[in-house]
Amino acid sequence: MISNFEQVHNYYERLVFEEVLRRAPRWPNMTSDMLADVACVALNRLPARYVRHDVDLMFYLTEHERHAIELSLEAALDFGYNFVKDRSAKAGA
């Protein structure tokens, strides 16, 4: 039996990457390495939700669950940006 796992991914990865890039202009002092760190910190604060197709997950979620995902994503990204900013300030001090 041969399986194709290439489509399997963490649902949050694309969302986090896109949002980090969207917010990046608000953080002009962050390097591309720091933005990658922000994404890692944010992803580590979110639950793993592995899917083959993003639409499959969204189809089965209730409105309440969708809203909870949005809130958790927002909180994880806020934490990630502030965590990396604070750590880089301490490293530069």
Which tens digits make up the pLDDT trace of 55-79? Answer: 878 788 899 999 999 999 999 999 9
Q: What is the pLDDT of residue 41?
A: 98
Q: Domain coordinates of the chain in residue numbers?
A: 9-85
Q: What is the pLDDT of residue 60?
A: 82
Where residue 6 falls among pLDDT bands split at 50, 70, 90?
Answer: confident
CA dihedral of residues 16, 40, 58, 9 (deg, nearest 10): 120
Q: What is the pLDDT of residue 53?
A: 87
For residues 18-29, b (16+ Cβ closer than 10 Å) or e, as one string? ebbeebeeeeee
Whether the full predicted model's pTM is greater than 0.85, yes or no, is yes
